[in-house]
A and B are shown apart, each in its own frame.
Chain A
Amino acid sequence: MGRQAAVPRNRTQKKKVWVKMVQHRYVYLMLLPVMLYYLIFHYFPMVGVLIAFKDYSIRYTFWENIFNTPWVGLKHFEAYFQSFYFARTFGNTLIINLYGLIFTFPAPIVLALLLNEVRNMRFKKVVQSITYLPHFISMVVVAGLVIDFTSSDGLINTIIEAFGGESIQFLVEPEWFRTVYILSAIWQEIGWGSIIYLAALAGVDAELYEAAVIDGAGRWKQMLHVTLPSITPTIIILLIMKIGQMMNVGVEKILLLYQPTTYETADVISSYVYRRGLLESEYSFSTAVDLFNSVVNFILLVSANKISKMLTETSLW
């Protein structure tokens, strides 16, 4: 019954949509490249996940592989879950991202709050410029800098030795890898990340501060009760997005910084996929591993969004 009623309504609505689309055709035209981009580069390649359930062979073309080769079920997933590398790569991926969430994520917020309190505009600008410059350096160069700084006669070890400490092989000892990874990430992204928070801070109504001052709030209380609540929605959205990338590690940086002795803490799912897929050409196996990665990622994103919706009424959708 409801369906019958819905038909004419849908039709008029459809008409309206068309009329509107024709009216605003230039706006829609501008949307087209973006749509095409997503279709061609993000949706269309998804066909490729099918090879995770097949034995991809370079004997055949891609399409022959998709349509003609037999299905092998969950063989590749089983091989991954049973292998010794499953626990290691999955664990490392989670731990590095968890550290990222605890240390890298709040760092720009702190910087933004600090900069917000600075009254000398010149100083503020200088600090901002210096902190966001590293963002523009290519990852290869950043990794090169990190390797040089942490080598036995590098800057950091020279400082440690000057204070009478023992020099540390940061990139050789597995227990230091995550620290180096996280600290260099903070160094590179803190300034850039703070821009969005500074923008949010600029939008806070000045009257709120006036009201707070009248109520007798000091600088600290103002920050706690006015500034932070005002930028909470921004923080939450960025947090959800960050959790959405929970399983994606900046694999270039890992590949540039790790070496066999640090595999124990540095080998993540993406670097494992790179080695098995692109270097050893085991396409089906590495696709299966990456698909697993994406599924976990998807679950994390959806649950983070749900939780945030329940707790703060801010959410992505």
Chain B
Amino acid sequence: MKKRSIIALLMVAILLIGMFSGCADGSADEESQGAESESQEDLKAMIGNYPIADESNPLTLKIWSTMGDTIANDIKDFNDILAFQEMEERTGIHIEWEHAGSGQDTEAFNLMLATRDLPDLIRNNIGSEGKEAIKYVQDDVIIDISPYMEYAPNFKGILDENPDLYKQLADDNGGIYFFPSLNLDIRTRVYRGFMIREDWCEDVGMDIPQNTDELYEVLKAWQENDVNGNGEKDEVFSGRGSSDFLVYNLLWCFGSHFGFQLKDGAVTHGILTDEFKEGMAYIAKLYAEGLIDPDFLTNDTTKWESKFISEEAGVAYGIASRIDKFNKNVEGAHFVPIAVMNGPDNRPGYTYDNTITNIYKTQQTVCITTVNENIEKSMMWMDYVYSPEGEILFNLGVEGVSYEIGEDGKPHYTEALTNDPQGRPQNQMQLLYAPGGSQWPVNVTMDALYCQKTEDELNAFETYSSNIPETSEILPPFTLTEEEMSSITSKLTDVNTYVDEVLGSLAIGKLSIDEIDTVVIPRLESLGIQDILDVYQTAYERYMEKA
């Protein structure tokens, strides 16, 4: 009796499986029946002649895209953004959006791929570390767009004019896999650096620190003089332990990175360098003496910001927009950028921020998927973004609505953006009109930058870009082959996880600096770091040989 019911259950289960697999097959069949395609000549005639679709010949494209937290509460999908409404009018192509819930990007993206429920285009940070484009080409998710370049004359024109950009973007075989955000002007690339409270430095009669020794003295002086006047020795350097605003950025002043880097023309990992020990000893010393935020490992961005707003922290490494934010929110505070923080004995400081050397950004990339049946038209649609009109549309929006040409002949945002009745900040409002650069790829122009940024931020950009720390040890964006990739993927995960762990342990003194040689490096070797370095070295050499 018991056995029978189990058999019955199994039968039902098998039947159900049959039903489900039947469904899957059915839907696959339907997909393959596309609209009748136009001839090559018809398509070529359309290049540059927008609209490329109309009522008699409608076209809807499906796009999967992440959506930034800043606007997730304001819009349902990207069709609520002015630039995309305008783009639909001008190109005639309707877009159906699919967005991941905030904070669920990676999971939702992986789930979409695993179920192979692919849209026509994908916007995600493909091309960044761990999301190498070639991996998705092999998995039959996205296509190489380089054979279709003639359908994107504006984008191609930019590539032709900027050979450095082409070298970075195309892989060893000339393949191009995505439309990126472009930062051709260096001032649009250098937006991170050290920031410090000038008024606190003045209070203790010291200059803005220019090297790590001076930074230490300043922090000491702040605490001894209790510059925030709350009776406690809590004036600190604040940062985070992951993502952004890292405390470990201090390592850069010593000429060492917390990730893979170049050293004397060879690929290595920061931890394996001697400078790392020196830099980490400095961080550990500061932490032990209470000069670094004791909560830095558990800080999220909000908590990190609150340390500055409650006047506990006075110096950090991060995005220049915070200088403006802190100056506005903390009464009497005056944060200023520090261009270069040198190492001990004024040894020149380095930077390992590859956004400075990478002309394109991987955070906003658009790929065409393998199920797309209108590749040519998708190329034309995306190319509009890089056309002179599209550049304005995505950087500034529509004249008279989101921006106006001022008396100085330069564009300025209108009241709608700068003075929102609901009190939303400008950098949030601007995304609802012209989402280029942060939500969508665009060729970022200086006009846009002058519009978007406050005086404090522009000053910071000026300071940071006029005097850039040594960049020679930053890894260029080389590409790996399929075999190289599959041979190191899981080792890379293990190494990166362990490095995260070690950085924190060293900073808080759970691991001593001597243990780097006795514990950390042997462990890294057992996790296969040498194999990764070998693969990176070959790929790096291949990249350097490229014209």
Interface hits, A72-115 → B, CB 8 Å? 79, 83-85
Q: Give the chain B neighbours of A128 by CB distance below 8 A.
A: none
A61 close to B16 (CB less than 8 A): no
Looking at the assembled complex, report how far the CB atom of A94 sits from the nearest CB atom of chain B, in whole angstroms: 20
| A124 contacts chain B at the CB level, 8 A cutoff | no
Does A165 have its Cβ within 8 Å of any Cβ on chain B? no
Looking at the complex, which one of B115, B294, B493 makes contact with A280 (CB distance below 8 Å)? B493
* B158 interfacial contact with A, CB 8 Å: no
Verify A260–B139 contact, CB threshold 8 A: no
Name which residue of chain A comes closest to B13, CB basis: A43
- Chain B residues within 8 Å of A173, by CB: 508, 510
Shortest CB–CB separation between residue A13 and chain B, in angstroms? 7
Counting chain B CB atoms within 10 Å of each CB, the highest count among A85, A152, A281 belongs to A281
Choose among B130, B140, B241, B501 the residue that contacts A263 (Cβ–Cβ < 8 A). B501
Q: How many Å lie between the Cα of A275 and that of B17 in the bound state? A: 29
A43 contact set on B, CB distance < 8 A: 9, 13
Expressed in whole angstroms, the Cα–Cα distance for A47 and B18 within the complex equals 12
B504 touching A39, Cβ below 8 Å: no
Chain A residues, Cβ within 8 Å of B130? 280
Once the chains are docked, how many angstroms separate the CA of A61 from the CA of B106?
19
B526 lies within 8 A of A84 (CB): yes
Give the docked Cα–Cα distance between A260 and B298 (Å): 10
Which residue of B113, B241, B294, B497 contacts A152 across the interface (Cβ within 8 Å)? Answer: B294
Q: Report whether A259 and B297 are in contact in the complex, using a CB–CB cutoff of 8 Å.
A: yes
Q: How far is the CB of A84 from chain B (nearest CB, A)?
A: 7
Partner of B110, one of A83, A84, A260, A281: A281
A59 within 8 A of B: yes
Q: Is B518 an interface residue (CB 8 A)?
A: no
- Evaluate contact between B504 and A61: CB separation under 8 angstroms: no
Q: A70 to chain B: closest CB distance in Å?
A: 16
**B114 within 8 Å of A (CB atoms):** yes
Known A-B contacts A39-B9, A171-B298; the reply to A261 vs B113 at CB < 8 A is no
Number of interface residues of B (CB under 8 A): 43
Mark A111-148 against chain B: 1 for CB-CB distance below 8 A, else 0.
Answer: 00000000000000000000000000000000000010
B506: nearest residue on chain A (CB-CB)? A261
Whether B298 contacts A259 by the Cβ 8 Å rule is yes
Main secondary structure of the interface of A (DSSP, over half): helix
User: A57 in the interface, Cβ–Cβ < 8 Å?
Assistant: yes
Q: Which residues 19-53 in B have Cβ within 8 Å of A in the complex? A: 20-21, 24, 28
Q: Assess the B107–A261 pair: CB atoms within 8 A.
A: no
A232 contacts partner chain B, Cβ-Cβ < 8 Å: no
Specify which chain B residues have a CB less than 8 angstroms from the CB of A84 in the assembled complex. Answer: 494, 523, 526-527
Q: Encode A31-62 as 1/0 by CB contact (under 8 A) with B.
A: 00000000110011001000000000111111
| Minimum CB–CB distance for A279 against chain B, Å | 5
Decide if A57 touches B139 in the complex (CB within 8 Å): yes
Question: Can you list 26 contacts pairing A with B, beta carbon distance less than 8 Å?
Answer: A13-B1, A39-B16, A44-B16, A44-B20, A59-B140, A61-B24, A61-B115, A62-B24, A63-B21, A63-B24, A147-B298, A152-B294, A169-B294, A171-B298, A172-B297, A172-B298, A174-B510, A259-B242, A259-B504, A261-B241, A263-B497, A279-B106, A279-B107, A281-B113, A282-B489, A282-B490
- B interface residues with partner A (beta carbon < 8 Å): 1, 9, 12-13, 16-17, 20-21, 24, 28, 106-107, 110, 113-116, 130, 138-141, 241-242, 294-295, 297-298, 489-490, 493-494, 497, 500-501, 503-505, 508, 510, 523, 526-527
